[in-house]
A and B are shown apart, each in its own frame.
Chain A
Amino acid sequence: MIDMFRRRFISVMVILLLIISGCNNRQETSSTNEAGDQVITIRAQTFGDEQTRIQNLEEAAKELNEQLKAENKKIQVKLETSSFDGSWEEYRRQFILAFKSKNEPDIFLTGHEDIAWLAKGDYILPLDELKDSEAYRDVYPTLWESVTWNGHIWGALQDTEARPIFYRKDVLKQLGWTDEEIESLPEKVKNGEFTVDDMTRVAKEAIDQGLVQWGILHRPVNGPEFHMIAKNFGAQLYDPKEDKLVFDKEAILESLRYFESLTQKEKVTPESMTSMEWKNVHQMMIDGKALFWYGGIWNIFNYMDQGAEFDYLMENFGFTLVPATEKGGTPMTLSHPIVHTVSSQTVHPDLVIRLLELVAKPEYQAKHSVETFHLPIHERGSEVEQFKNDEFLSQITYMLDYTTFLPNHADFNKYGDAYFNAIQSVEIGKKTPEEALKDMEVQIQNDLGDTIIIK
């Protein structure tokens, strides 16, 4: 009897162990089809609602199969795609765990700032060959900076955007601006004639005249726009030579003073800006209750999602670079390119790279940009008729000449959290900019130790 139990117990244990060890096996990536071709499965994961990222990969896979057939390679590619809908933190966590259990996708789409930790942790392959590839030959030169870490290229650029200032033309008109003045605002900003101080002044005037409830709005949660503002005040965030973050105290203090001025002194931005709901912030702009918005070009998509008509938006909104902080200074914006990375455990890196070259085709770039309010990564993409016909996007593309990026540093999120806390404490009036700066310094020293340069 005991023997029988022992045998059954051992059998159950063996089955359990097999199941557990099975979870750790890399999925089968190759099989054979009816025509006798070897079918190689490539898995790709994308992020967000933008279905064109997946559709373009699928189209590129079809093209790759045709090419392979024409080359008599006896190989076909089967693309398995999935799209993640959740927070970036969950998305990163999911990839790490999938990678460790050898179940990660071959192609992992992510924000460019993730390449540092992905590369440092040996999760992804360097893709230096893409820089010389025909498919990526006319990428806007500045965009390469966003996928470079430690002297290598780590991502295939998928799409980019810009963060302009949105302004309500109708409100400016009510303030007494002529049509010509309103339309020439982007040009004045470009020439450094209209600064952030002018923006605050106009916002204040609009509030004082009862035209709007608020003058300037910014994003309600932590994110890249805050670093864009810090950079606008001259902040250096990263030293690529030493691969260290930089805490530029003087510039950060200036930026904190700016947030204090917006919320506490001029009161053109609500103190509670960082506790508002995205939808309500968007609604305030749609309803004309605020004049300026530190936005992103995809917000047009959000506004339409909330019921606004495209024609209404084009009629009432203007878009300009973020004005310089001093007269004659250079305006700017910030882009957050989304990039395809390639898993270091992929069994077929050559095929994956060929697929990534095909997905950069101008037609795919244009389609994705127009349908999701993004910008193409290369000039050929912006020359496609479909893109050129888009009134909004074609007037924004010039901003890529003025763009900047977040640093590619593995610990940048820790720095970002400390900066956001400093901004929030200043905006709600809990701390002066000087106090917030001091606390931020203590925090980043504790969190980042010797991986940050304090200057």
Chain B
Amino acid sequence: MKKWVLPYLMLTPFLLLVLLFFVTPVVITTIMAFTNMDYSMEWNFIGLQNFEKIVSDPNFSQIVFNTFIYVGFTLLINVFFALLLALLSSYYIPFEQSGLFFRALWMLPRITPPVVYVLLWLWIFDASEYGLLNTLTSFFFSNDPIAWLIDHPMTAIILVNGMVGASFGMIIFSSAIQSIPRDLFKAAQVDGASEWSVFKDIILPSIKWPIMFVTVWQLLSLLTSYEYILLLTDGGPVFESEVWPLYSYHKAFKNLEFGYGSALSLILVIIAILLTGVLLKLFKFNRMIQSSRIE
């Protein structure tokens, strides 16, 4: 028996699963993007018409702009705020138990089902006098109720998604910080290094890999996920918080325009691949996989 037969045979079931659940949907979405499939679920090929419709869609430019703002700012929170939380809970809080408790608190939004989590935010942002923020502002400033989700929808969705995403980065960064040999910190202390120097010269180079992973991972998930926006503003008011994946969902599953929704998704997949490439280049991925993790 040749050496490679058994490993490949053992891998086959998993490769089949990958083929079935990862590759097949991409192929089907690609094919569907060239059809006008609707509620009747018929495969009528219409060439590039869906893509022409995307370009002539009156909401196209606003949705691209919204997506850019939403992904950019939420990613900043997901990475930088997460890093701050990780530093606080893994480096500056000396007691392991306290750090653990702090991290567990920040994990609450992530382990809460999205619907429950968003319901809480909906109550916070509610435009009537019964909303939490409005109750507080009227108590302290005697203000009229403010329509938070109408006046600041983008801020609201960035904040809500940022808080959930930050907990993911926090856990990854925390474990990376904790895996840094303590000797390095002790040596820096003996040498009289400042906190900034410890962060810049020890912590940051040691967690470059997790930073790259969190950035790429969160970028991909922000580009393709929409459930919190769907539940919080549903893209409104009008199209002010409508982002690309949500628009694709609305077209495919609300209007039952599966062909058009697939065309929107296909473009998004291409953009996601390109942006991932750009980020890997920025992080000098090729060099990273060759070097040791602690420089």
- Chain A residues within CB distance 8 Å of chain B: 1-2, 5, 9, 12, 89, 92-93, 96, 100, 117, 120-122, 213, 270-272, 274-277, 280-281, 283-284, 410-411, 413-414, 417, 421, 424-425, 428, 430, 439, 442-443, 446-447
A277-B128, A446-B57 known, 14 other contacts, Cβ within 8 Å: A9-B9, A12-B13, A89-B254, A213-B129, A271-B147, A275-B127, A275-B233, A275-B236, A280-B126, A283-B128, A284-B128, A425-B238, A428-B150, A447-B255
Instruction: Report A300 CB to chain B, min CB distance, Å.
Output: 21
Given contacts A274-B237, A280-B128, A417-B255, contact A1 B1 (CB under 8 A): yes
Distance between Cα atoms of A100 and B13 in the complex (Å)? 27
Instruction: Report B247 CB to chain A, min CB distance, Å.
Output: 12
Contact B236 A446 (CB under 8 A): no
Chain B, residues 221-239, CB within 8 Å of chain A (1/0): the string is 0000000000001001111
B60's nearest neighbour on chain A, judged by CB, is A446
Contact A276 B127 (CB under 8 A): yes
CB neighbours (8 Å) of B253 from chain A are 89, 93
Total A-B Cβ pairs within 8 A: 95
Contact A272 B150 (CB under 8 A): yes
A100, A117, A281, A446: the one within 8 Å of B56 (CB) = A446
Is B43 among interface residues, defined by CB-CB distance under 8 A?
Answer: no
B5's nearest neighbour on chain A, judged by CB, is A2
Which 7 pairs, one residue from A and one from B, show the smallest C-beta to C-beta distance?
A: A272-B147, A272-B127, A121-B40, A280-B128, A275-B149, A117-B39, A275-B150
A90's nearest neighbour on chain B, judged by CB, is B253
25 contacts between A and B (CB under 8 A): A1-B1, A5-B5, A92-B256, A93-B253, A120-B40, A121-B39, A121-B41, A122-B40, A213-B129, A270-B128, A270-B145, A271-B147, A274-B237, A275-B150, A275-B237, A277-B126, A277-B128, A277-B130, A281-B128, A417-B254, A424-B238, A425-B237, A430-B238, A443-B59, A446-B53
Is B113 among interface residues, defined by CB-CB distance under 8 A?
Answer: no
Is B212 among interface residues, defined by CB-CB distance under 8 A?
Answer: no
A214's nearest neighbour on chain B, judged by CB, is B128
- Chain B residues within CB distance 8 Å of chain A: 1, 5-6, 9, 12-13, 39-41, 53, 56-59, 122-123, 126-131, 145, 147, 149-150, 233, 236-239, 253-256
CB neighbours (8 Å) of A424 from chain B are 236-238
CB neighbours (8 Å) of A417 from chain B are 254-255
Distance between Cα atoms of A414 and B238 in the complex (Å)? 14
CB neighbours (8 Å) of A271 from chain B are 147, 150
CB neighbours (8 Å) of B126 from chain A are 276-277, 280
For the residues of A in contact with B, the DSSP-based class is: helix
CB neighbours (8 Å) of A213 from chain B are 129
Distance between Cα atoms of A270 and B128 in the complex (Å)? 9
Contact A117 B256 (CB under 8 A): yes
CB neighbours (8 Å) of B130 from chain A are 277, 280, 283
CB neighbours (8 Å) of A428 from chain B are 147, 150, 237-238
CB neighbours (8 Å) of B147 from chain A are 270-272, 275, 428
Given contacts A117-B39, A120-B40, A121-B41, contact A5 B9 (CB under 8 A): yes
Contact A100 B238 (CB under 8 A): no
Distance between Cα atoms of A413 and B149 in the complex (Å)? 24
B13, B237, B238, B255: which has the most chain A beta carbons within 10 Å? B238
Instruction: Report A234 CB to chain B, min CB distance, Å.
Output: 25
CB neighbours (8 Å) of B129 from chain A are 213
Distance between Cα atoms of A276 and B256 in the complex (Å)? 27
Given contacts A93-B253, A443-B58, contact A421 B239 (CB under 8 A): yes
Contact A270 B255 (CB under 8 A): no
Distance between Cα atoms of A321 and B170 in the complex (Å)? 57
Given contacts A275-B149, A425-B237, contact A2 B127 (CB under 8 A): no
Instruction: Report A424 CB to chain B, min CB distance, Å.
Output: 5
Distance between Cα atoms of A289 and B270 in the complex (Å)? 52
Instruction: Report A99 CB to chain B, min CB distance, Å.
Output: 9
CB neighbours (8 Å) of B53 from chain A are 446
Distance between Cα atoms of A9 and B6 in the complex (Å)? 12
A117, A280, A417: which has the most chain B beta carbons within 10 Å? A280
Distance between Cα atoms of A283 and B123 in the complex (Å)? 14
